[in-house]
Chain A
Amino acid sequence: MDEKASIIGRVRGMNWSGLLQCTAVEKNGRTIVSDCYYEGAFKLARPIYLHPSQPTIYLMHVGGGYVDGDRYKTEISLQKQARMIVTTQSATKIYKTVKMPVQQYTSFFLDDQSVLEFFPDPVIAYEKAKFYQETTVYMKASATFIYGDIITPGWSESGDLFRYDWIRSKLKIYHEGHLKLFDHLYLEPRKGITDIFQMEGYTYIGSLFVVSPLITKDVLKKLEKIAAHFPNEAHFGWSTPTVPGLVVRILARETYIIEVIFQLIHQLIREECFQEGPIFLRKY
């Protein structure tokens, strides 16, 4: 993983509003966080073992939210066979950004047979917020990456939804060095966001991405079965990318509807692919 060394070397001392770097390694069947560095508004609490051998880390922001011109960077590496669950301590709140959009860059480096499950809390963009988020994954074909992301419309003093200026969210997954999955979500409320093809009258959007050699036709068939039991308040579709895996897009009018679907799929994958029980991340 040559990209990794060069990228990690570059980012320290670049004056980020928050920077977090962390490495997980597998030792005698248990994953431990071997190396951790953070500065600015980002902090990492001691890992919690919700599962006996897989740590869960909670990414923390010590301020109240993201403001004008903030730039954040997170880099997480999983070495061979390491397994880790990553979440946030609370929602990512984006406040009014007048001059510069808030930028958030997150990178994951997943070595052979490592498994990363990433379920951050929702992004909430308030009135006049501009938010650019770019998540990049460099993974081996034998690794597993699971990522659920939720964007909420925020609200304003007037009580109206969708008062943010725009949100741009990109995900790039490099699979053995080749770009195999690229998602680019751009939401600009002034341009007919509630229309046909856009949010279709819904307010919350959830996206779930899974890339794993363990997602077989058998697992997909089981997904088809459980999909019939997803909450009917949700409008969703799912398909398969160019590499073994799964992509789900959900529109809903409440966050928890999306979270329920994420949980059902996450649980199915943990059971079917890893013969593991469910993990409950909720903090409240």
Chain B
Amino acid sequence: MLDKLLPLLQLCDSNFPSGAFSHSFGFETYIYNEKINNEKTFREALCAYIRTQLTYIDGLACRLTYDFLQKQSKDDVSRLNEMLAALCLARETREGTRMIGERMWKLCREIYSFEIWNDDKEKRDYIHPAIVFAIVCDHLEIPKDITVLSYLYTSVQALVQNAVRGIPLGQTDGQRLLVFVQPYLIEAVQTIDALTEEDLGAVTPGLEIAQMQHEQLSVRLFMS
């Protein structure tokens, strides 16, 4: 297990240049409207985000990809990728995940060699970061539940760092939040494990509206 830990730490490191720090995925709209304005309101929103968006979209997409890879079903991965692109109705959030996904994909293909993926010459115009993360972890032989949990953690970590800058919060508050959310992330992995493809993408209308409204915000720290 020791040999698996280091690549996983590298992938989840906040210095890993995925570009996630440029995106708030709708949180900035709530900060702008002062619905999120301190540690308490951010913590509640973060927990809601874990229960909804992270569970039914990102986390489930990561787990499904891992399952498809175990079955060597590349077509299912492509189909899932197409669904994820179609699912995100807010343009900036869709472009944000596209940019993060592409950067991760490009970088990971430089540092690792995925046998079944390297032969793919076809121009890919979208790859969701959850899919990239699962492909890398599958390649590194990291177990499924740890893959999903790590992916959720990296997503939450980026949001917390953005909140520290955006609200702003203290660095210690940020680290305290990352301890606070741990049981919620583990619970989310268990929930995700019991879901099926039919559950994928169950969106929350309020967050989606915030992601859409972000396009019209007059002052913006983040690209989404």
CB–CB A183/B212 < 8 A? no
**A235 at the B interface (CB under 8 A):** yes
- Docked pose: A183 CA to B208 CA in angstroms: 11
Point out the residue from B45, B94, B216 that lies within 8 Å of A197, measured CB to CB: B45
CB–CB A181/B205 < 8 A? no
Point out the residue from B35, B51, B86 that lies within 8 Å of A242, measured CB to CB: B86
CB–CB B202/A237 < 8 A? no
Given known contacts A196-B30, A239-B90, is B205 in contact with A184 (CB within 8 Å)?
no
CB–CB B91/A240 < 8 A? yes
Point out the residue from B45, B56, B87, B205 that lies within 8 Å of A182, measured CB to CB: B87
Q: How many A-B residue pairs have CB under 8 A?
A: 93
The interface on chain B, measured as residues whose beta carbon lies within 8 A of the other chain's beta carbons, has a size of 37
**A178 at the B interface (CB under 8 A):** yes
CB neighbours (8 Å) of B90 from chain A are 237, 239
- Docked pose: A242 CA to B201 CA in angstroms: 16
**B82 at the A interface (CB under 8 A):** yes
Interface residues of B in 34-57 (CB under 8 A from A): 35, 44-45, 48-49, 51-53, 56
Given known contacts A184-B202, A251-B205, is B87 in contact with A237 (CB within 8 Å)?
no
Point out the residue from B51, B87, B211 that lies within 8 Å of A184, measured CB to CB: B87
CB neighbours (8 Å) of B171 from chain A are none
Interface residues of A in 212-262 (CB under 8 A from B): 224, 235-242, 247, 249, 251
CB–CB B89/A181 < 8 A? yes
Interface residues of A in 163-219 (CB under 8 A from B): 168, 172-173, 178-186, 191-192, 195-200, 205
CB–CB A200/B206 < 8 A? yes
CB neighbours (8 Å) of B210 from chain A are 197, 237
CB–CB A197/B86 < 8 A? no
Interface residues of B in 176-224 (CB under 8 A from A): 199-213, 215-216
CB–CB B203/A238 < 8 A? no
List the B residue with the shortest CB-CB distance to A178: B82
- Docked pose: A192 CA to B48 CA in angstroms: 9
Question: Could you name 15 residue pairs across A and B whose Cβ atoms are closer than 8 Å?
Answer: A173-B86, A179-B86, A181-B86, A184-B201, A186-B199, A191-B51, A197-B206, A200-B209, A235-B209, A237-B211, A237-B213, A239-B92, A239-B215, A242-B85, A247-B89
